[in-house]
Structure 1
Amino acid sequence: MVTKQDVEAAYLLLLGRPAEPGAAEYWMENVYHTIDLVTGLMASDEFRINRLPRLVEAGLSLSDFAPAAAPKALADNGPPMQAALHRGIGQIEVVEINRPEALPGTVVVKVGASGICGTDLRAYRQDPNSQDLPHGHEFAGTIVEVGEGVSRDRIGKRVTADLFLNAMCGNCQFCISGHAYHCIDKALPFRSGGFAEYLRVRNAATFDLPDSIDDALGALVEPLAVSTHAIRLVGVQPGMIGVVIGAGTIGLCAIAAALHAGATNVFVVARHAFQGELARAIGATDILPDDIGSAINRIREVAPHGADFVIEAVGGGQATIDQATRFLAPRGRVGIVGETGPGIKVVEAYPALMKELTFLYSNCYGYLDGKHDFEVAIENLALDGERLRKLITHEFLIADAPLAFQTANNKKFSSVKVQLKP
């Protein structure tokens, strides 16, 4: 886990100055591995433009600070393309950068659609650093170029990708067991994101899309996989009755994932009316009332002893976990997929003890029982894509990325999933 000391040391080493106020807290909240911190700082304009030339003059190279693959990630010489770059808090700039080139084992994807997610919005609200490589990990597109070692038959295939498979070392116990998110030696060797016309990714990280899933739906695979992972961890089975707390993208995807797993009733706690309407459109049984007693009574109309499972998709801390505890039947399960910040205490132990509840934290996605969550999400979209398409509330061209982020960041626009297209 990244510590305040790690942040201070990285700033002094890479930027030659102390970290600004709030920087340590930002990095401690948003990255887990030191390599993610180092790579993030190396992608900043301050490092590339101001600091790197001095390091080179001093006889140092990028490989002194990061994995040997990092220089390749920063040295593309392809033709120009449009990209939307994070330039500090509340700042998105559309610029021309060089198109990525295929390296051994990789493919270049022409992006068809890319979604703005909560992680992107957190950076938009909090990250003061300026980046010169595009973000965007919810994407779909078409392979247009392959690197050495990749069959040319891949050209023309429509794909999405798990960028943790793109970054994993492939050798640690977590990579070997199918949980690349927890890789202890992430290298981020071909860093490239979907907020651009093209991106580069390891071929082994890609997942083919059937013709029934267009690029807009394909860009929903990643968020749907996040929710699918939680549903699979909790062990939702046919006939179960559940509750989803939170009706943002991940909560709405959790409804779809639970129904795909066979749940017969899924109730929802939604903050905004437009979210409740979308939840019903996706297949939610009902929107629970704000009053906790009335909500419990509504659940018990179909589940006399309480719900079999609850998915917490808010990250709100103790209040929502207390809700979940009260909604559940004895021996029920809570899947916590909503992100919480450091220091938040979430469980009042006694009610959970009396009911013998199980709490499972879920983060991102990976392989479970030999099958990747992306595969399950793709199957879901192939069967029920048109209902899930309702999550896409706004679409913008990359040229209008600043407006797209403003829209995604402000609920007055009733936005759920905002996508960029070239």
Structure 2
Amino acid sequence: MATMKAAFFDGHSSMMLADIPAPEPGPDDVIIRVRATGICGSDLLMNVDKTEPDQIPFGHEVAGEIAEVGPGVDARLVGRRVAIETIGHGLACATCWYCRQGQFRQCLNKRPNEGGGFAQYMKRRAIGCYPLPDALSWEDGALVEPLAVSVHGVRRGQMQGGETVAVLGCGNIGLTAIAAARALGAGKIIATARHAQQAEMAKALGADEVVSSEGTDLKEALEAATEGRGADLTIETVGGHTGATLEQSINVTRMQGRIVILGGFRRPITMDWLQPLLKEQSVIFSSCYSIMNGQHDYEVAIDMLASGRTALRQIVTHKWARSHLSGQASSRARCEV
């Protein structure tokens, strides 16, 4: 049986390389030769409480080329450069009610995940592979997934052209939210950041103003920009273990405005919902991506990158290459600042 190199969390705060069986394609599957994989914050957070090593490699911000196809897949796809929708479409049954609505993340009959992009090869359904234009690099391809997350959030928030948008947090998803909102027609974007390099990158990607995440700076900036109303749309990207950023989102969003929650809250929190009730605000949760208005968020994200409407590739600040992982160097684009 053919083997490949893969990186696993070892259960002790480190990653380890191991030889494991290479995936084999089944019906409707493709095997992808991984060329770049981004390191998501969730890849780090999910390992915090683990005490046992992982059994499969993770990594979901993946770009690569189709190396092999299974039964029922057009052989002409071999060699195609793709961004892989690893979480939803690439595992979806394509027949349940949610799949028929284009909501592949919510599929009721997903295939089991047999491994992600921290490996030389990975397997997914062919329908979950989105073609990359030749103008995009492998690192650009790895950025499609986090950009699609924010495209989905902006679209779920029903942002209208010219609206004032607040973005809480300038980590990976906060930065992609700024890029997505700018490319989709936001009027003014005001963001919060904890670090100087985050603020600098946020401005490079389209934020008009970046203020401290502490105190009342954000509220004051938004009120000054909107005749006292507040943000039309607020995108919360921080998450965490308290409701502080949720309370801040409610506080800085105008009456009848919208709040989209992209941040991951991994522990139960207590919230007072009276203020958003009285302000008639819409609180919208957003997870991953889907087809909306006839177009998948991946397609929108790829078009943004290829058309030059966003300079998102600037957030790839570090690369790690292991030339012995494949015939050519396999790179991992660190999608954080």
Q: 1:355 aligns with which of 265, 270, 279?
A: 279
Q: 1:334 aligns with which of 250, 259, 263?
A: 259
Does 2:145 correspond to 1:226? no
Q: 1:279 aligns with which of 189, 196, 202?
A: 202
CA drift at 1:371: 1.5
Does the CA contact (< 8 Å) of 2:168 and 2:237 recur in 1?
Answer: yes
Does the CA contact (< 8 Å) of 2:178 and 2:189 recur in 1?
Answer: yes
Does the CA contact (< 8 Å) of 1:90 and 1:124 recur in 2?
Answer: yes
What TM-score do you get using the length of structure 2 for normalisation? 0.90
Q: Aligned-pair RMSD on alpha carbons?
A: 2.3
Whole-Å separation in 2 of the counterparts to 1:358 and 1:333:
5
Distance 1:400 1:286, change over 3 A: farther
Q: 1:95 aligns with which of 18, 30, 46?
A: 18
Does 2:1 correspond to 1:82? no
Partner of 1:53: none
Does 2:41 correspond to 1:139? no
Does the CA contact (< 8 Å) of 2:173 and 2:237 recur in 1?
Answer: yes
What TM-score do you get using the length of structure 1 for normalisation? 0.73
Whole-Å separation in 1 of the counterparts to 2:279 and 2:194:
27
Partner of 2:223: 300
CA drift at 1:118: 2.0
Partner of 2:250: 325
Distance 1:185 1:145, change over 3 A: closer
Identify unmatched segments of 5+ residues in structure 1.
Answer: 1-76, 402-407, 409-414
Does 2:303 correspond to 1:379? yes
CA drift at 1:184: 2.6
CA drift at 1:302: 2.2
Could you tell me which amino acid in structure 2 is paired with residue 87 of structure 1?
Answer: D
CA drift at 1:291: 5.4
Partner of 1:397: 321
Does the CA contact (< 8 Å) of 2:25 and 2:68 recur in 1?
Answer: yes
Does 2:270 correspond to 1:345? yes
Does the CA contact (< 8 Å) of 2:194 and 2:212 recur in 1?
Answer: no
Does the CA contact (< 8 Å) of 2:40 and 2:335 recur in 1?
Answer: no
Partner SS for 1:167: coil
Aligned residue pairs total 328
Partner SS for 2:48: helix
Could you tell me which amino acid in structure 2 is paired with residue 359 of structure 1?
Answer: V
Distance 1:289 1:124, change over 3 A: closer
Could you tell me which amino acid in structure 2 is paired with residue 373 of structure 1?
Answer: D
Does the CA contact (< 8 Å) of 1:217 and 1:385 recur in 2?
Answer: no
Whole-Å separation in 1 of the counterparts to 2:323 and 2:84:
24
CA drift at 1:152: 1.7
Q: 1:211 aligns with which of 121, 134, 151?
A: 134
Partner of 1:257: 180
Could you tell me which amino acid in structure 2 is paired with residue 216 of structure 1?
Answer: E
Q: How does 1:170-185 map to 2 (within 5 A)?
A: 170-185=94-109
Whole-Å separation in 1 of the counterparts to 2:191 and 2:324:
33
**Structure in which a larger fraction of residues adopt strand:** 2
Whole-Å separation in 2 of the counterparts to 1:153 and 1:353:
54
Does the CA contact (< 8 Å) of 1:89 and 1:126 recur in 2?
Answer: no
Distance 1:400 1:102, change over 3 A: closer
Does the CA contact (< 8 Å) of 2:192 and 2:218 recur in 1?
Answer: no
Could you tell me which amino acid in structure 2 is paired with residue 417 of structure 1?
Answer: E
CA drift at 1:315: 0.8
Could you tell me which amino acid in structure 1 is paired with residue 281 of structure 2?
Answer: L
Partner of 2:119: 196
Does the CA contact (< 8 Å) of 2:93 and 2:110 recur in 1?
Answer: yes
Does the CA contact (< 8 Å) of 1:108 and 1:199 recur in 2?
Answer: yes
Bigger radius of gyration = 1
Identify unmatched segments of 5+ residues in structure 2.
Answer: 326-332
Partner SS for 1:124: coil
Whole-Å separation in 2 of the counterparts to 1:400 and 1:383:
34
Post-superposition CA distance 1:371-392 (Å, at most 9, x none):
2111111111112377201111
CA drift at 1:345: 2.3
**Structure in which a larger fraction of residues adopt helix:** 1
Structure 1 segments of 4+ aligned residues over 6 angstroms from their partners: none
Whole-Å separation in 1 of the counterparts to 2:212 and 2:264:
24
Post-superposition CA distance 1:325-367 (Å, at most 9, x none):
2211211100001011232124x32321232111001111111
Could you tell me which amino acid in structure 2 is paired with residue 233 of structure 1?
Answer: R
Ranked by relative contact order (alpha carbons within 8 Å, sequence separation 6 or more), the top structure is 2
Whole-Å separation in 2 of the counterparts to 1:211 and 1:356:
46
Does the CA contact (< 8 Å) of 1:292 and 1:323 recur in 2?
Answer: no
Q: 2:235 aligns with which of 311, 317, 321?
A: 311
Distance 1:386 1:231, change over 3 A: closer
Does the CA contact (< 8 Å) of 1:213 and 1:385 recur in 2?
Answer: no
Percent identity over paired residues:
37
Does the CA contact (< 8 Å) of 1:196 and 1:398 recur in 2?
Answer: no
Whole-Å separation in 1 of the counterparts to 2:178 and 2:251:
20
Partner of 1:149: 72
